[in-house]
Amino acid sequence: MNILEIKDLHVSVGGEQILKGLNLSVEQGSVHAIMGPNGSGKSTLANVLAGKPGYVIDRGEIHFDGDLLNDVDPEVRARAGLFLAFQYPVEIPGVSNMEFLKAAVDSLAAARGGEQTTAVEFVKSVRKIATALDLNPEFLKRGVNEGFSGGERKRNEILQLLLLNPRLAVLDETDSGLDIDAMQTVADGINRFRDAHNCVLLITHYQRLLNHVVPDVVHVLSDGVIVKSGEKDLAVTLEERGYAWLTD
Amino acid sequence: MADRLEDSFAESLIANLDSSSGSWLAVEEIIDRLKSSLTPAATKESWKYTPLRDFLVGFTGAAAVTPDITGVNQPGLTMSALSAAGEYARGPAALANTGPLPLADAALLCAGDAVHIKVSGEIAQPLEISYGEGVQVPIVITLEDNASLQLIERNNAVEFCNHSLFVELNRGSRLNHARSALDSNCCDWGLTQVRLLETTDYRLQQYHTGARKRRAETLILLDGRGARAELTGAYVVESNSHLDQQFIVEHRSPDTFSRQTFHGIGAGKGTIVFNGRIHIHPDSPGSDASLVNKNLALHPEATINTKPELEIYTDDVKCAHGATVGQLAEDSIFYLRSRGLSRDDARTLLCRAFLKSCIEGVLAEEVTEALLRNLTGP
Ligand SMILES: Nc1ncnc2c1ncn2[C@@H]1O[C@H](COP(=O)(O)OP(=O)(O)O)[C@@H](O)[C@H]1O
Ligand SMILES: [Mg+2]
């Protein structure tokens, strides 16, 4: 059963066509890696999946758990279980991480018809995840990503992933800019998340992360289309040979 | 019956004049100055965005009303009528000589009896003043040497209100002053004048929404070495509302310190006017002044006029100012929505964050939700 199904997706940004007929199916319980050179459209794919304004679908369809997603608001996607870990998470001074995370958890719980967690339970679970990710829980009192280093921002994205526990996690270069220890921590977080009921779209520029989070399928994105798909060995080949041979 | 609105306004003030207490200036002089201060030329600049006439209709000649004052029955506080306060001639006189505020404001102090509250020592409980409908009897508060007080001022009128407050801080005294005006229908015009002598400390937290017409004028006179004034505030102006805030800070002594930090949101098709003036007089070395006014244009048709004005006549001073009008960051909104928050919730969270750094003190809790009650926009 496919959680995500993308058919012939054409997307333009600022009048320029970026995705040019992308097809992709991600089944429940699997991890798909997307690799590709800079500017090939990886973040465009991530953003259009999350419903970012300004990303225009010219043609094609995105299905999520069988429902057409094309015109659905970002918050509705999130409540349905779609999560994007941003390549560049924004800083929102004045909104505390705690306040933000509680609002997110509550809105998802409300959409699922579940009970709201009490403040005490909530703080407990957030602290537990933060500690596992080597994030000092004191950060939770600060503004969202306020004064965070690049690595702290990425770990904060993984914290949200574990807290919100979505159906589909799209991780946009969560590994870039991390030192080896931090990458291990992030990889542990992703492995902790993945299970038989969800799926992961792991966008990365390096195969390094894939040594820690072993994908079921590796796709190569180039100039807005997937030009090759294979097993995890493909990532190793790409690391050795680069991308050029695929499009020659 | 007077032809011009300005004349009937003057007449209504004169009718209220109590000859026994209007002793600082000759009545004739008040009338003369009043009339000249109401000439179109004199009122043009200061009243550019808020027509003075809109307020004058509220001056019907009816006797001024005494505001509701609570907390006055405490050791250290005494209340009396203005006749005991002849010594305050300097207050309105100083005002009359200062900047663009029209003398009409000062004349209000002479419009009948005022209430005089004297403060000595540390006052335990807040003194609370609530304004009702109509022209309010002016309040004069004197803090004696080393006194300290928490003052809370609320505007509860919903039709028309004019109020004035004159404060004098004597050596070493401290006043923490929180005020709110949150009714959106009212037409109100308030004047505050605070005079600070040596080593005094004045803090203002001002929370306003827009209203049918709302104008708040605040004049700070730093008249003693080491006097400090910290003014902060937050405001939200909704559709069909108008808020005009005028601040004048006069540094007239060495080593005086002032901070003005105001954040506001244009949440609808309304008008924000913010005029902050810093005036550093000659012979005031070591003055340290700053003014920050940040505005968020939440609604595309919000009108925001913000203008810092500086006049500096002493070397060796520090003076910084900045006034901005910005928009909510779309990237931040998207980030929040991508975590399941609705667009409205995302906007409210960001607006609250924007105002939060300017909301503090005793009224913080009661004003926050009131300010954020109606954020409209796309
Ligand atoms: N907001 C935008 N406006 C115009 N062009 C954009 C925008 N965002 C990305 N692009 C362009 O789209 C192409 C793909 O970008 P992106 O999806 O970020 O690539 P990747 O993540 O693979 O490095 C690039 O050529 C980039 O310049
Ligand atoms: Mg990218």
**Using one digit for the tens of pLDDT, what is the confidence trace for A110-120?**
998 888 888 89
Please name the residue whose Cα sits nearest to atom 1 of ligand 1.
Answer: A13
Judged against a pLDDT cut of 60, whether residue A101 lies above it is answered with: yes
Looking at residue A186, its amino acid is V
Which of the pair, B105 or A8, is modelled with greater confidence? Answer: A8
* Rounded-to-integer distance, Cα B377 and Cα B358, Å: 22
Q: Which residues of B touch A78 (CB under 8 A)?
A: 337-340
Judged against a pLDDT cut of 90, whether residue A154 lies above it is answered with: yes
Interface touch B349/A100, C-beta < 8 Å: yes
* Rounded-to-integer distance, Cα A31 and Cα A18, Å: 24
Per domain, the residue ranges of chain B are 2-328
Residues of B with CB under 8 A from a CB of A: 329-332, 334-343, 345, 349-350, 352-354, 356-357
A103 within a domain of the structure (yes/no): no
Is the CB of residue A151 below 6 angstroms from any atom belonging to ligand 1? no
In angstroms, how far is CA B174 from the centroid of its own chain? 18
Q: Is the dihedral of CA A100, A102, A107, A108 positive or negative?
A: positive
- Residue from A9, A11, A12, A13 to probe ligand 1 pocket by mutation (most atoms less than 8 Å from CB): A13
Compare all CA atoms of chain A with the CA of B349 and give the residue at the minimum distance: A95
Compare all CA atoms of chain A with the CA of B337 and give the residue at the minimum distance: A75
pLDDT value of position B91: 46
- Give Cα separations from B302 to B234, B327, B372 (angstroms): 16, 11, 16
* Rounded-to-integer distance, Cα B34 and Cα B32, Å: 5
CATH code, domain with A191: 3.40.50.300
Which of the pair, B289 or A137, is modelled with greater confidence? Answer: B289
pTM above threshold 0.80:
yes
Assigned token pair, B239: 């559709």
Within 13 Å and on the Cβ side, how many CA atoms surround B321? 18
Task: Please return the burial class of A14, using the count of CB atoms within 10 Å of its CB with bins 0-12, 13-18 and 19+.
Answer: exposed
Phi-psi region for residue B112, left (φ > 0), alpha (ψ -120 to 50) or beta? left
CB A220 within 8 A of CB A243: yes
Judged against a pLDDT cut of 90, whether residue B10 lies above it is answered with: no
pLDDT value of position A230: 94
pLDDT value of position B104: 46
Per-residue pLDDT tens digits for B291-326: 999 999 999 999 999 989 999 999 999 999 999 999
Place of tokens 């190569």: A220
Q: What is the dihedral of CA A36, A38, A44, A46, to 10 degrees?
A: 60
Interface touch B332/A92, C-beta < 8 Å: yes
Q: A79 C-alpha to center of ligand 1: Å? A: 27
Residues 6+ apart with CB under 8 A from A149: none
Is the CB of residue A44 below 6 angstroms from any atom belonging to ligand 1? yes
Which of the pair, B253 or B378, is modelled with greater confidence? Answer: B253
Q: At what angle do helices A150-164 and A119-132 cross, to 10 degrees?
A: 130
Beta strand B242-251 with B213-222 is parallel
A169 within a domain of the structure (yes/no): yes
List beta partners, residue A150.
Answer: none
Tally of domains in chain A: 1
A220 within a domain of the structure (yes/no): yes
A48 within a domain of the structure (yes/no): yes
Is the CB of residue A36 below 6 angstroms from any atom belonging to ligand 1? yes
Q: Which atom of ligand 1 is nearest to the CA of A54?
A: 1
Please determine, for the modelled complex, whether the ipTM score is greater than 0.90.
Answer: yes
Is the CB of residue A40 below 6 angstroms from any atom belonging to ligand 1? yes
Among A174-188, B81-95, B143-157, B250-264, name the one with the lowest average pLDDT: B81-95
Please name the residue whose Cα sits nearest to atom 18 of ligand 1.
Answer: A43
Interface touch A108/B349, C-beta < 8 Å: no
Mean pLDDT of A39-58: 97
Per-residue pLDDT tens digits for B70-89: 999 999 999 987 643 344 44
Q: A19 C-alpha to center of ligand 2: Å? A: 13
**Residue B327: Cβ within 10 Å count:** 10
Mean pLDDT of A183-189: 94
The domain of A200 spans 2-96+164-247
Q: Is B327 helix (H, G, I), strand (E, B) or coil?
A: coil
Residue B373 to chain A, least CA–CA distance (Å)? 18
